[in-house]
Structure 1
Amino acid sequence: MTTAIPSKPPVETDVAVIGAGAVGMFQVFQLGLQGLHCHLIDALPHLGGQCAQLYPHKPIYDIPGIKACSGAELVERLREQMAPFAPTLHLAQQVQTLVQQDDGRWLLGTDQGTTLLAKAVVIAAGVGAFVPKTVKLEGIEALVGHSVHYHPADLGPLALQGQHVLVHGGDELAVQAALDAVHHQAASVTLMHRRDVFTAPEALLAQLRMHQDAGHIRVLAAQPQALQAEGSALSAVTVTLPDGNSHDLDVQQWLVFQGISPKLGPVADWGLELVKKQLPVDTGTFVTEAPGIYAVGDINTYPGKRKLLLCGFHEATLAGFSIAEYLTDKPVLLQYTTTSTRLHELLGVTGTLPT
């Protein structure tokens, strides 16, 4: 690998964590306990990775000490847990380049022009960067982020108030979004899918039928054909009905739930050893073949690997100790959050349970 020269001085940090899913967030916490500051990077515009994107409302039953919590609840708990260490977030950005420098540090560059110079890097990218499946219509690119949204969960409720809303998709997230749009007082709500069958819990489907019968939600089996817009403002979408006829819908906000695809992306170009699109690691340290580059969660592989959140949390814990020893070149004293005054200071707690 050769040294790259960035166009402007990079931001220096202890550790860069690539991937802001559950394991990446817990990695920030574990590194914080070691007194290390992190920059956290993710292709999604929000924290949480798979938990937030694929099953925010579904219960998770195998988190130790928690009988059940939803994906969204787990993300919020992890956000609160890492908050004392104030990681610098770089969301809606994908790391494109990773190059080792002459002094052993690693230079990262994102597709948004962010450059970081890190003493160590943790790749917690899961099965890859989540990329939404886009709608292929002429002129739609100018509307993305304004009136066409591939990450609708990041819209505030006021964004839909008084608007003609088209929800496009057939899964639980799409059904929930249509119900939420009614709750947020949209002027009209249309739930469109290629067929009028939706994959969602019966309780949600019952709510959908109730609002459909009351005229609050229009359910439409159709496919988008064209759009009408001025600048970044959408005004209508032309759809094709099952009988072949076309119909124009008044639409000001288009929420797209066509699913997401995990893509390994630039990781394959970083010169690291890959085995079936995963990074082999040493199970004592979770370092890859490259000194200073670690991998935790679903992106790594080793004998006996299990793709479970619990295992990812364990890997992040050991990686945290390993990185601290790598950067200080000396053993790290094991301390317990129950008794260590140093850890209490880092966490900003008094040693008593919060009320």
Structure 2
Amino acid sequence: MAAVIETDVAIIGAGPVGLFAVFECGMLRMKSVVVDALDAVGGQCSALYPEKPIFDIPAHPQIEAQALIAALEKQAAPFTPIYLLGRRVERLERADGMLTLGTSAGDTIRCKAVIIAAGAGAFGPNRPPLDGLAGYEASGAVRYMVTRREDFRGKRVVIAGGGDSAVDWALSLKQVAARVTVVHRRPKFRAAPETAAQLDAAAARGEVEMAIPYQLHALKGDGSTLEAVVVATLKGEEKAIPADVLLPFYGLSMELGPIAQWGLALDRNHIAVEPATCATNVEGVFAIGDIATYPGKLKLILQGFSEAAMAAHAIHPRVFPGEALHFEYSTTKGVPGGD
């Protein structure tokens, strides 16, 4: 049902950075409405890899993506955000010092500032150019995400790619799969050095097989059930790797959707912002997380968390004009509803 809502801040994106922005705004007494195209909070963490272990969240040597989302949602809960899920923001208008957003469900949100925390925007996997791919996708023999590790127990899994997702899932799935083979075009991986080193060690122990330097070439099977993944070198040398499942991790294709029509300064499908405030070139609109870019930007969740805090502090004068912000640490002021 369409809603008409007045709030302090509208947050576009209910991923980890968007959820933490609710907390940071709440700590400064600003109310939030959160809009997301997915039907549940969590963004990519929930939609693409809920069981993926994340290793670079402070105080958590390892935490699964869905567990992180659950904790962030609980952290935001005292500030009673309004979640508008299963819809996307389609228009932005400005009048009388207020911003008005319209959603695909007909909602109208009037606010004093907008935080875009849309991650990769409207995202979808980069698919490998393989004949007959659609049939194997339909049967689940080719997948672009892991939602349950148990689905791969006893399976022969081929993972293609050289980034964090490929390396992290190779290390995770080797514990349940019958066989894990990693296909990459060169020996050097783009993943975090520590996890890349763990993969090398696992390969040396025979826990993971490495197909280097190879690229995906063809799928072998009946069009639905996969028998093998054929890989090839740049010289045309081919080999078939027995497989039940192929996981191509070639990243996500980004599409900003209607946001691209808002007059924002864009840099390769990312939104350019001021590093100190995360303000865009459009008055009252801020961007944080993976969708934001500036010199020295690191695409890490923890950097997105920092950006959420910076944006909230920059927004405070818009919500409370003329009011001095006497910043206090959370250890001093506590959280509403806390002990």
The alignment's TM-score, normalised by the length of structure 1, stands at 0.64
- Mapped partners of 2:210, 2:244: distance in 1: 17
Q: Secondary structure at the match of 1:138?
A: coil
Q: Can you list the C-alpha shifts for 1:164-222, whole angstroms capped at 9, x where unaligned? A: 311112345423322322212x233222223466565333311222025xxxx333243
Shift of 1:234: 4.2
How far did residue 96 of structure 1 move?
Answer: 6.5
The change in CA–CA distance for 1:204 and 1:13 in structure 2 (over 3 A counts) is farther
Would the aligned equivalents of 1:39 and 1:89 in 2 still touch at CA under 8 Å?
yes
Aligned residues: 309
Per-residue displacement from partner, 1:273-311 (whole Å, max 9, x unpaired)?
4265645679889476356x4444676689xx8747376
Picking from 209, 224, 240, the partner of 2:216 is: 224
| Distance in structure 1 (CA, Å) of the matches to 2:236 and 2:278 | 59
Q: How much is the aligned-residue C-alpha RMSD, in angstroms?
A: 4.8
Is 202-211 or 281-290 further displaced after alignment? 281-290
CA distance in 1, matches of 2:16, 2:181: 33
Instruction: Summarize deviations over 1:107-154 as a string: whole Å, max 9, x none.
Output: 033xxxx554322332134686665432122343451793433233xx
Which of residues 185, 199, 221 in structure 2 aligns to 1:204?
199
User: Residue 106 of structure 1 contacts residue 119 of structure 1 at CA under 8 Å; is this kept in 2?
Assistant: yes
Q: What is the aligned partner in structure 1 of residue 131 from structure 2? A: 138
Which whole-Å deviations, capped at 9, do the CAs of 1:73-116 have from their partners, x for residues lacking one? Answer: 9956645532444653758x8x462243989631033xxxx554
Q: Does 1:191 align with 2:190?
A: no
- Residues 85 and 159 of structure 1: CA distance in aligned 2, closer, same or farther (over 3 Å): farther
Q: C-alpha distance in 1, partners of 2:187/2:332?
A: 58
Partner of 1:349: 338
Structure 2 counterpart of 1:193, one-letter code: H
SS for the counterpart of 1:227 is: strand
> Structure 1 CA distance, aligned partners of 2:6 and 2:140?
33
2:12 partner amino acid: I
Which letter maps to 1:203? Q
Structure 2 counterpart SS, 1:162: coil
Which amino acid letter does the alignment assign opposite residue 159 of structure 2? V
Q: Which position in structure 2 is the counterpart of 1:63? A: none
Structure 1 residue runs without a partner (length 5+): 1-7, 61-65, 351-355
Partners of 1:283 and 1:177 lie apart in 2 by 35
In the alignment, residue 235 of structure 1 is paired with which amino acid?
L
Q: 1:100 aligns with which of 93, 99, 103?
A: 93
* Partner residue, 1:251: 243
CA contact (8 A) 2:277 2:310 kept: no
Contact 1:225 1:237 (C-alpha < 8 Å) held by counterparts = no
Q: Which amino acid aligns with 2:215?
A: Q
Please say if 1:117 is aligned against 2:117: no
Partner of 1:150: 144
- Counterpart of 2:26 (choices 14, 32, 45) is 32
Pick from 2, 6, 20 the counterpart of residue 9 of structure 1: 2
Say which SS state the counterpart of residue 148 (structure 1) adopts. coil
Native 8 Å contact 2:216 2:230 kept in 1: yes
1:318 aligned onto 2:309? no
Partner amino acid for 2:116?
A: I
Matched, 1:267 2:256: no
8 Å contact from structure 1 (residues 224, 240) kept in 2:
yes
Any gaps of 5 or more consecutive residues in structure 2? none
2:176 matches 1:181: no
Check the 8 A contact 2:229/2:243 in 1, yes or no: no
| Inter-partner Cα distance in structure 2 for 1:229 and 1:240 | 14
Checking the alignment, whether the CA contact within 8 Å between 2:218 and 2:231 is kept in structure 1 is: no
Aligned partner of residue 174 in structure 2, secondary structure: helix
> 1:252 is aligned with what amino acid?
D
Q: 1:313 to 1:273 in 2, by over 3 A?
A: closer
- Say whether residues 1:41 and 2:32 are aligned partners: no
User: Would you say the 8 A contact 1:297–1:311 is kept in 2?
Assistant: no
Letter of the structure 1 residue corresponding to residue 282 of structure 2: E
Structure 1, 251-260 or 18-27: larger mean CA deviation = 18-27
**Rounded Cα–Cα distance in structure 1 between residues aligned with 2:278 and 2:196:** 42
Identity across the alignment (%):
26
C-alpha contact (below 8 Å) 1:166/1:253 kept by paired residues: yes
TM-score using structure 2 length:
0.66
